[in-house]
Chain A
Amino acid sequence: MPLIDTTQLALERAIQGAGVRQEALTANLANVDTPGYVRKDVDFHAQLAGAMQAGPDAAARLRATGFAPTADSPGAMRADGGTVDADVESARLAQNALEHQALVTVAGARLDVLRAAMGIA
């Protein structure tokens, strides 16, 4: 088993995905009053879940996974064409920040285990 296993790699990728998602959600909030703006989001969960299904290739798939924001299909919108709801966006922002914090905490705890095993904790 390598020192940085697939789980640790997935945690690191998820932390990066949450960072990219935070940027997309912040851009939605910045454009809350922009006419015709279509909100964007990053579905990093689905991308990572797909990579984790790859069995022995999971680590390589995880390393190759990149995250990019995708625009929602314009559904219900305001009269000016904007689709951002400031309340919903704030809730998503808070949720994503907490998720990022949880991921960082777990990744840090796993690194602490490694440090303890090496006697440098």
Chain B
Amino acid sequence: MSLFGTFDVAASGLSAQRLRMDVTAENLANAQSTRGADGGPYRRKEVVLREASGGSSFGAALAGARGGAAAGGAGGVEVAAVVPSQAAPKRVHDPGHPDADADGNVLMPDINPVTEMVDLIGAQRAYEANVTAMQSAKSMFSKTLELLR
């Protein structure tokens, strides 16, 4: 039944957009972090999305086992990777900073709050679109169930 597959697809969109929001929030929170995981300043992270292949759900496996053509419907979206940015860190002159080098320069993360806020709004809108799709599928399914009354 394809409508249950619709729920899975919308849910994959929800979790992908939520991860985008998480990563954006992490970037904003670490805008001033001079000590990242690899020793240097924190590097901006970016989420890479890709189309999911689909056909891994129970319903798709069952349809495939019965020899049906319905196997492997739409798969939704999945997170391919969270990659650190390759941009060079900003060099800020701040001799009082504990991480300043001999010339008084500190390497700061190259994070622009405006860019992050725009990403946040984009992820939020996409999340809302997926919520709407899920609600629409829900009302379609309950309407179909009324045929049994």
Contact = CB atoms under 8 A, between A and B. Distances in A.
Interface in B77-124: 77, 122-123
B3 A23 contact: yes
Interface residues of A, number: 35
B56 interface: no
Given A22-B136, A23-B2, A33 B122 contact: yes
B13 interface: yes
A20 B136 contact: no
Contacts of A24: 74
Contacts of B75: 27
Contacts of A19: 1-3, 6, 140
Contact of A66 (B5, B9, B70, B143): B70
A29 B133 contact: yes
B33 to A, nearest CB: 26
In the complex, the 7 A-B pairs of residues with the closest C-beta atoms, listed nearest first: A30-B13, A27-B74, A19-B2, A30-B77, A26-B133, A97-B136, A23-B6
